[in-house]
Structure 1
Amino acid sequence: MSSRTVDQQAMWRNWGRTEQVRPTEVVSPATAEELAQIVTRARETHRRVKPVGAGHSFTGIAVAPDIQLSLEKMRGLVSADVSTGEVTLQAGTHLFEIPALLAPYGLAMTNLGDVDRQTIAGATSTGTHGTGREFGGIATQITGVRFIDGTGDDVHITGDDPRLAGAALGLGALGVLTEITLRCVPAFKLRAVEEPSTFEESVSGFAGNVGGTDHHEFYWFPHTDITLTKFNTRLSPDEPDTGPSAVRRWVDDELLANRLFGAVCALQSRVPTVTPALNQVSARVLSARRYVAPAHEVLISSRTVRFREMEYAIPLETVPDVLREVRAMIERRGYRVSFPIEVRAAAADDLMVSTASGRASGYVAVHRYVGDRPDNYFDDVEAIMVAHGGRPHWGKMHTRDAAYFAGVYPRFGEFLALRDTFDPDRVFANDYLTRVLGE
């Protein structure tokens, strides 16, 4: 076997520094056959196995207390069919690698989130999504998966197999993904319009903006009345690129949105009383701009300032009420919040444990700078979300458990039955999955 065991004393930490673990073993299989051997050995010795990708989940979903798997050797394009748009990728492929892999075929992923450091397996397994009233999360693009289940079997699920509704967004609870097949679309560009607005205009107009724009989102800067709105319209790949120069975009996206913002957050964490004033400055620094560029260049943003995040999906029509409640709560409780609140939307889907399962959804994401002092901000936000039937992102911080999910996911029982089928001995369990799915 060519899998590699590395320093057993190495401590693994996720990107947001919310989770850490010292695995007993770290292995890097290069093939599905090697992976099956690892899983079979773990089952026989009553050990647990967890794959870890880029570590961009804030929850403990990828924490591996026993055997940690790296899929870095299982990356790249397996096949592409231009006639159908179906593309099969190895599960360890990072999202940022995919545009170049698809370019020779004139294809693109239907939609993306705003970060591309994750692996395709990690992004789909945790329910990562972008924004757009007619577009589901990344897992809704899946038409087939291949994985090694808890018995060591090599499982293929494709097409109309009803089990795909669970396996496409499997939380790492059914098996270790080795290949993912996506339904892609012809490559396209986006016209981006980014401009400041006010809290009330953005909140009251959210439903209309989402319904009238391919991809709409906005950011509200707490302690201000200022929002940054984004409207992205899909265009032909032949549309010429326009807008700010590469230098201007570097200034906006890297110098201002990351380096300067990081310095501001660090100051606010040490002196919280300056937060409202500095938020006013931060909100006004980002000016309006319009440009046309390839879709992935518009949808993806650089994120180098470390933070912790909670995000809840709520019924789309409840977004305005929820945001007003969150704003009132921040002021009432006297929190000092340096990070803007992000608001997005997604189409309803039929995946068993997708946060948009069965309902068009709005997403409200709140953040804390990694250096901020602990407080109850996330707890108070979560209480509001739960009161509106919210479903937390599986990879972002929350306190919900299996009993709660049984009440907000109509197909939760079906997913648990799949877990019993594919991982009867809980080879892929960890503390997080036990909390959210049960024993």
Structure 2
Amino acid sequence: MGARHSGGSPAPAWRNWARTQSATPRTVVQPRDLEELVRTVASTTARGGRLRAVGAGHSFTGAAVTDDVQLRLDDLAGVERVVPLPDGSAHVTVGAGIRLRTLNAALAARGLAMRNLGDIDVQTLAGAISTGTHGTGARLGGLATQVVGCRLVTAAGDVHEVSPTHDPELFELARLGLGTAGVLAAVILHVVPAFRLRAQEQPMALATVLADLDALVDGNDHFEFFWFPHTSGALVRRNNRVSDDVEQPLSPLRHLVDDELLSNGVFAVTNRLAAAVPRAVPRINAVASRALTARTYTGASADVFVSRRRVRFCEMEYALPRAHVTDVLRELDGWLRGTGEPVPFPLEIRFAAPDDLWLSTAHGRETAYVAAHQYYRMPYRRWFDAFERIAGQVGGRPHWGKLHGLDHARLRELYPHLADAQRVRARVDPTGTFRNDYVDRVLGPVG
């Protein structure tokens, strides 16, 4: 049987989750196996076409946009191999199209887990690592740091098995490179024995959080906080490992009330109110901030890391040198108070260890991530422009999958290995099969 495709009629229009990007590809192809993937890539290159893989559509940028071949990896989503290691960890080979939610369940069934995760799990693995998805933890890196090997189909239709010891430069671009090295067919992850976390959530004054920030970040396995614009209130979240016999689950009723009714249902209503009456946003946020309550519970790591996000939004996130995050937040607070710009969504602040991935936002430095959001039915340009200007003053690096205005000239100054990435890209995709407007803007043209 052949790959699933849209045939001769126009493919259906595509748009991403946030409604910030749309496309009408010439055709949509969903290869059933590696052979069909190779054939699709090689034939596209042979006719001088363009191809972009698309996952769950959770990137806010145009990373997946194409008017030619849109590739879906849904059928390349199985667990291929598990290699146990002496310390109890393992190398697990999975199809690159696997959804994180499915991956987490498959690992848990084998007594394993990802070392760290972001806060949603609907993305494909390929999309998550290719755009630099991360969680939080001062001693931990993003998802791509957990990748130890890749099976990659390059523009010519060649299949490469790459790793830190086998074509390490191509491996660098494959595991975090916006899909410009080729199409990921499979990924080898270094995973750890399954573990449990104790989650402690607590309202706290923003001034207190900032005053004690180093102790909070360094004193917890995973620390993050949310700050409500137009208020002095924050919600801190501390997740720490506990032994397997520690049981303090969140009651089904508390989960329903907190995570569904309040975090999604009521929050959706307040955002619709904010869109209708923007001047009410400071009062709405003040009420929301005062309504926060503390809670503590334990659970499997993936269950604690992941939150359900049902309220649609637009997002910009910048990776800052950790030492500058307090000053940036104070300047943002001053700008919001001075302009009165209505922002009903909280900012999310997370942390990561330095790493050596060429295009990682945490390359070479301790990092604080500041994510600014706006309800998708409200204007975001003025707010995001101000945030980008303030973050840029301290050398902030934008998340590759979230909205930003930087181009190749500026990004070349922020990433010391961007030229290396372009050199490898030119080697494996000299005619630009995997290019699109967004890729050309941020990495520079090739082909």
Under a length normalisation based on structure 1, what TM-score does the superposition of the two structures give?
A: 0.98
Q: Structure 1 CA distance, aligned partners of 2:344 and 2:109?
A: 42
Amino acid corresponding to residue 434 of structure 2 in structure 1: F
Identity of aligned residues (%): 45
How many residue pairs get matched?
Answer: 438
2:75 aligned partner, one-letter code: K
- Does the 8 Å CA contact 1:269/1:373 hold for their aligned counterparts? no
Structure 1: distance between partners of 2:59 and 2:41: 23
Q: Name the amino acid aligned to 1:343.
A: I
- The aligned amino acid for 2:182 is G
**Residue in 2 aligned with 1:331?**
337
Per the alignment, residue 154 of structure 1 pairs with 159
Deviation at 1:166, TM superposition (A): 2.6
Which residue of 185, 203, 218 corresponds with 1:178?
Answer: 185
Asked if 1:115 corresponds to 2:98, the answer is no
| Aligned position for 2:174 | 167
State the alpha-carbon separation in 2 of the partners of residues 232 and 188 from structure 1.
12
**Distance 1:103-1:425 versus aligned 2 partners, 3 A rule:** same
**CA pair 93-207 structure 1, distance change in 2 beyond 3 A:** same
Deviation at 1:76, TM superposition (A): 1.7
Whether 1:76 and 2:78 are equivalent positions in the alignment is yes
Choose from 309, 312, 318 the match for 1:306. 312
**Counterpart amino acid of residue 395 in structure 2:** G
Structure 2 partner of 1:140: 145
Q: Which of 370, 378, 385 matches 2:391?
A: 385
Q: How far 1:374 moved relative to its partner?
A: 4.8
- Matched residue, 2:46: 44
Contact 1:165 1:350 in 2 (8 A): no
Q: Deviation per CA, 1:49-86, whole angstroms, max 9, x where unpaired?
A: 01100000000001122100111111121111222511
Distance 1:103 1:244, change over 3 A: closer
Matches of 1:134 and 1:228 in 2, distance apart?
22
Query: CA shift at 1:214, angstroms?
Result: 0.3
**Partner Cα separation in structure 2 for residue 243 and residue 148 of structure 1:** 44
The letter of the residue matching 1:335 is E
Q: Does the residue aligned with 1:399 lie in a helix, a strand or coil?
A: coil
Q: Give the aligned residue type for 1:416.
A: Q
In the alignment, is the contact (CA less than 8 A) between 1:51 and 1:62 conserved in 2? yes
Amino acid at match of 2:242: L
Distance in 2 separating the partners of 1:192 and 1:160: 38
Q: Structure 1 residue 283: deviation in Å? A: 1.9
Q: Out of 264, 286, 301, which is 2:292 matched to?
A: 286
The superposition leaves residues 374-402 of structure 1 with CA deviations (integer Å, 9 ceiling, x where unpaired) of: 54110010001111101000000001111
Change (3 A) 1:103 1:271: same
User: Is the contact between residue 225 and residue 235 of structure 2 (CA under 8 Å) also seen in structure 1?
Assistant: yes
Alignment of 1:86-105 (within 5 A): 86-105=91-110
Q: 1:314 to 1:105 in 2, by over 3 A?
A: same
- 1:343 corresponding residue in structure 2: 349
Matches of 1:286 and 1:118, distance apart in 2: 29
Offset from partner CA, 1:9-36 (integer Å, 9 cap, x none): 4110000000000000001001111111
In the other structure, the counterpart of 1:230 is 237
**Alignment check: 8 A CA contact 2:229 2:344 kept:** yes
Amino acid at match of 2:184: L
Deviations 1:176-200 (A, max 9, x none): 1000000001100001100000111
Aligned to 2:134: 129
Report the Cα distance in structure 1 between the residues aligned to 2:353 and 2:418, rounded to whole angstroms. 19
Amino acid at match of 2:352: A
CA–CA separation in structure 2 for the residues paired with 1:69 and 1:365 = 29
Distance 1:224 1:417 in 2: 47
Picking from 218, 227, 230, the partner of 1:220 is: 227
Partner of 1:8: 10
Aligned residue identity for 2:177: G
On the 8 A contact 1:203/1:323 being kept in 2, the answer is no
Per the alignment, do residues 283 and 217 of structure 1 end up closer, same or farther by CA in structure 2, a change over 3 Å counting? same
In 1, Cα distance between equivalents of 2:212 and 2:402: 27
Q: Which amino acid aligns with 1:57?
A: S
For residues 245-276 of structure 1, what are the alpha-carbon distances to aligned partners after superposition, in whole Å with 9 as ceiling and x for unaligned?
02211210111000110110011011001101
Partner of 2:202: 195
Give 1:106's aligned residue. 111
Gaps of 5+ in 2: none
Corresponding letter in the other structure for 2:383: Y
**Helix, strand or coil for the counterpart of 1:73?**
coil
User: When the two structures are superposed, what TM-score results if normalisation uses the length of structure 2?
Assistant: 0.96
Tell me the amino acid that sits aligned with residue 225 of structure 1: S
CA RMSD, aligned part only?
Answer: 1.2
Q: 2: CA distance between counterparts of 1:181 and 1:286?
A: 40
| 1:418 to partner: Cα distance | 1.1
Other-structure match for 1:210: 217
* 123-132 vs 285-294, greater mean Cα deviation: 285-294
Contact 1:8/1:26, CA 8 A, preserved across alignment: no
In structure 2, C-alpha distance between the alignment counterparts of 1:272 and 1:218, rounded to whole Å: 25
Displacement of 1:42: 0.8
Task: Find out whether 1:412 has 2:418 as its counterpart.
Answer: yes
Moved over 4 A (4+): none
Instruction: State the Cα deviation string for residues 387-427 of structure 1 (Å, max 9, x = none).
Output: 11010000000011111111011111111111111111110
Of the structure 1 ranges 334-343 and 157-166, higher mean CA displacement relative to structure 2 is found in 157-166
Residues 374 and 380 in structure 2, CA contact (< 8 A), matched pair in contact too = no
The structural deviation recorded for 1:235 is 1.9
- Give the alignment partner of residue 19 of structure 1, picking from 15, 18, 21: 21
Amino acid in structure 2 at the alignment position of 1:46: G
Secondary structure, counterpart of 2:165 in structure 1: coil
Contact 1:108/1:185, CA 8 A, preserved across alignment? yes
Q: Which amino acid aligns with 2:97?
A: G
SS of the equivalent of 1:257 reads helix
Which of residues 254, 279, 302 is equivalent to 1:296? 302
Shift of 1:159: 3.8
